[in-house]
Amino acid sequence: MSLSHLSFYSAFTFSSLGLAFHRTHLISALLCLESMMLSMYIPLSTWSVENQTPSFALAPVLMLTFSACEASTGLAMLVASTRTHGSDHLHNLNLLQC
């Protein structure tokens, strides 16, 4: 395993561990999700350049598009929950109370 593969795997692992263990604020969960998407985007884009596959060159752009949509949806949920509940703490959000 090369050093770049190890860094991509460790970045994804650390961001998923951050998502699992630091779930107090919604913004920290969104940042962990964005770092997971970034740690998947970079190897995907370098893989298509290294293998010189023009048919697979559109996949990183599509992944980046879905990541931007996920980020905008997450920020909209953050604004909506802050307006209704007064904070972005995840323990205040309960689906059974809606």
Q: What is the pLDDT of residue 98?
A: 53
> Is 26 a member of any domain?
yes
Cα separation, 55 vs 59, in Å, equals 9
Total domain count, the chain? 1
- pLDDT confidence bin for 97, thresholds 50/70/90: low
> Is 18 a member of any domain?
yes
> Is 31 a member of any domain?
yes
Q: What is the pLDDT of residue 95?
A: 60
Range of the domain at 62: 3-92
> Is 98 a member of any domain?
no
In this predicted model, what pLDDT tens digit does every residue of 30-67 receive, in sequence order? 899 999 999 999 888 888 778 887 778 788 889 999 99
> Is 77 a member of any domain?
yes
> Is 60 a member of any domain?
yes
Kindly report the CATH number assigned to the domain that includes residue 42. 1.10.287.3510
Question: Is 25 strand, coil or helix?
Answer: strand
